[in-house]
Amino acid sequence: MADRAWEEHLRAVERLGSSYSAIPPGDPVRLAKQTTNLFRARAASTAPGLDVSGLTGVIQVDPAPDPASGGPPTADVQGMCTYEDLVDATLPHGLMPQVVPQLRTITLGGAVTGLGIESTSFRNGLPHESVLEMDVFTGAGEVVTTRPGDDLFDAFPNSYGSLGYATRLRIALERVPSYVALRHVRFDDPGLLAKTIEEITRAREHDGGPVDGLDGVAFAPGEYYLTLARWTDDSHRTPSDYTGQQIYYRSIRDRQTDLLTIHDYLWRWDTDWFWCSGAFGAQHPLLRKVWPASKRRSDVYMRLLKLDRQFAIADRLDRRAGRPLRERVVQDVEVPVERLAEFLDWFDAEVGMRPVWLCPLVSTGSTSEGRPWTAYPLEPGATYVNVGFWGTVHVGPDAVNAPKNRAIEAKVHELGGHKSLYSEAFYDPDTFDRLYNGPALAAVKRRYDPDDRLTSLYDKAVRSH
C-alpha cells in the first residue's frame, strides 16, 4: 500500500513538472488552485497554472520509527493535503501533527510556506518547526529536497510561494489519547493574564496539573480567559459536542471545565469559524436548526464571504441603513508576552473589536543552534502571544485608506512584534524589507528562481499580484 502511494506521488510530481513546461517561458508561475484560506486579494489570471491536483494526500504514516534513531513518529504528506485529511490519517494510530492549525482546509504546504499556529504552539512552535525535510518545486522547475539549516528550508516559512511550492513534507507527530480535558480560567487583569501565560509556558503546568494545549479569548476589557487543555484517556463523563446546536466559544464563558474528544478539540474552532459564523446567521437558534451540520465549517463561510465581496452585500446594506463605511480588519499578530497587556489596552481603545483570540507560541528556531527563521525572525526561545481578530470596523469615508490596519501594523512593530501576511499589508518596500529580511529572502530567490518566474513576497503580500 505504501509503495503504491509513493508511486502515485511520483506520478503527480511528473504531472506538476509537465504543467510547468506548458507555461510559456517568461510567463509567471502560479498554482492552478481554486480555494484559499488567504484574506488578501489576488490578481485575477486566466493563464494556466501548476497542476497540483495529485498532491492532496498522505503518502505514509510511520507510527513506529527505528528505535535506534530515537526519533518521533512521522508522516510523509503531500503539500496540498488538508489538515482535515492528515488528521483523519494519523488519529487512528493515536497520533497527531505536533501543531494542527484551527481550520480544516488549511493545507500542510500552506501552513509551512505561510504561518500556522494552535494551542500546542507554546511547546511545539509553529507547523514548520516540526518539518524534518521537504521537497520544494522551485521557480526553475526543479524539485529540491531540503532540510533544516539549508538556505531554502530556512527561508521557506513566511515566503508564501515566492520560493516555490512544497510537494512533499516529512513531519514529526506526537502521541495523543482519546480525550482532552479543558479548564477555562478567567482573568480581570491583562497583566496577570500575561504573567500566567509566561509561567505556564515555562513550567508546562498550572496549579500542579500538566498543560498540553494553551489558548485564550479576550471577550472585553477586563474579561479574559485562558483555556488549559490536558490530554487524557479518562472518559468519566460524556464529551461535549459543539458541532450541533451548542457553540464552543460561548462555552468558555459558561463553564469552568469541559471534555472533548481529541478529534473535536482539534476542530473546535472550525465549526463556527471561531465566532465569525454569526455574520452569516449560523448562530441564530432557528437558522442553526436548519443549517446542515456538514455545512457548518470554515470553507463554507469562506465561500459566503467571497460572495459578499463580489457583490458588496454588506456595503450595500450599510449604505441603505445610513451606517459609516466599513474597514475590514482581519489580522493575526505576534506580540512579546511582556507587551501583551499594553497591546490589548491599546487595541480596546483604538480598534474595539470583540472578541479576539490569544495563542501563545515559542519558536524553536531553524536548527539546533536556534537561528531565527529567515523571513519571519521571531526570537527563538522567547514567548510571544498571537492575537487574532477578524471582522470589520465602521470608520466612514477613510475606510479606503485602511487607517485601523495601518495603526495596528505600526503598534505591533513598536512593541517588538511581528505580523502574519495572510491578509492585507500596507508597508512601503523599505519597511517591508527591514521587517521580513528582504535582502536575505531575495538572495535565496535568485538561487532557486534565477529567471524570476515566481511572484516576490512583497508583490504577493502588499501589491496583491
pLDDT digits (tens, 9 = 90+) for 256-291: 999 999 999 999 999 999 999 999 999 999 999 999
- pLDDT tens digits, 395-444: 999 999 999 999 999 999 999 999 999 989 999 999 999 999 999 999 99
How much is the average pLDDT of 294-321?
A: 86
How much is the average pLDDT of 351-367?
A: 93
CA distance 195 to 218: 15
Contact between 396 and 319 (Cβ < 8 Å): no
Q: What per-residue confidence (pLDDT) applies to 155?
A: 96
Per-residue pLDDT at 370 exceeds 80: no
Q: What per-residue confidence (pLDDT) applies to 307?
A: 87
Per-residue pLDDT at 12 exceeds 80: yes
Across the chain, what does the average pLDDT equal? Answer: 93
CA distance 121 to 360: 7
Contact between 275 and 355 (Cβ < 8 Å): yes
In a domain, 88, yes or no: yes
- pLDDT tens digits, 197-250: 999 999 999 999 999 999 999 999 999 999 999 999 987 889 999 999 999 999
CA distance 79 to 54: 10
What confidence category does residue 368 fall into, taking pLDDT thresholds of 50, 70 and 90? low
In a domain, 257, yes or no: no
Q: Where are the beta strands (DSSP E) in 63-175?
A: 74-78, 95-97, 131-137, 143-146, 165-175
Per-residue pLDDT at 45 exceeds 70: no
Q: What per-residue confidence (pLDDT) applies to 159?
A: 96
In a domain, 206, yes or no: no
**DSSP code, position 284:** S
* C-alpha of 277 from chain center: 18
- pLDDT tens digits, 178-190: 999 999 999 999 9
**Least confident piece of the model among 65-69, 151-155, 216-220, 365-369:** 65-69
What's the full length of the chain, in residues? 465
Contact between 211 and 123 (Cβ < 8 Å): no
Amino acid letter for position 56: T
What confidence category does residue 20 fall into, taking pLDDT thresholds of 50, 70 and 90? very high
The answer to pTM > 0.85 is: yes
DSSP string, 189-224: -HHHHHHHHHHHHHHSEETTEE-SEEEEEEEETTEE
What confidence category does residue 308 fall into, taking pLDDT thresholds of 50, 70 and 90? confident
Distances (CA, A) of 95 to 129, 169, 171, 218, 342: 17, 17, 12, 31, 38
Contact between 194 and 160 (Cβ < 8 Å): no
CA distance 222 to 232: 31
CATH of the domain at 125: 3.30.465.10
Beta carbons within 8 Å of 292's beta carbon, 6+ residues apart:
none
What confidence category does residue 2 fall into, taking pLDDT thresholds of 50, 70 and 90? confident
In a domain, 56, yes or no: yes
**DSSP code, position 149:** T
Strand 205-206 versus strand 143-146 pairing type = unpaired
In a domain, 192, yes or no: no
In a domain, 91, yes or no: yes
* C-alpha of 3 from chain center: 31
Per-residue pLDDT at 39 exceeds 80: no
Contact between 379 and 417 (Cβ < 8 Å): no
Contact between 170 and 75 (Cβ < 8 Å): yes
What confidence category does residue 321 fall into, taking pLDDT thresholds of 50, 70 and 90? confident
Contact between 80 and 168 (Cβ < 8 Å): no
What confidence category does residue 70 fall into, taking pLDDT thresholds of 50, 70 and 90? confident
CA dihedral 232, 237, 243, 245 (to 10 degrees): -150
Q: Which domain holds residue 56?
A: 2-176+455-461
* C-alpha of 441 from chain center: 21
Q: What per-residue confidence (pLDDT) applies to 1?
A: 58
Number of domains in the chain: 1
C-alpha cell at 167: 510537494
Q: What angle do CA 449, 142, 375 make, to 5 degrees?
A: 45
- Give start and end residues of each alpha helix (H) in 114-212: 121-124, 151-155, 190-203
C-alpha cell at 111: 501552513
In a domain, 70, yes or no: yes
- pLDDT tens digits, 111-135: 999 999 999 999 999 999 999 999 9
How much is the average pLDDT of 88-95?
A: 98
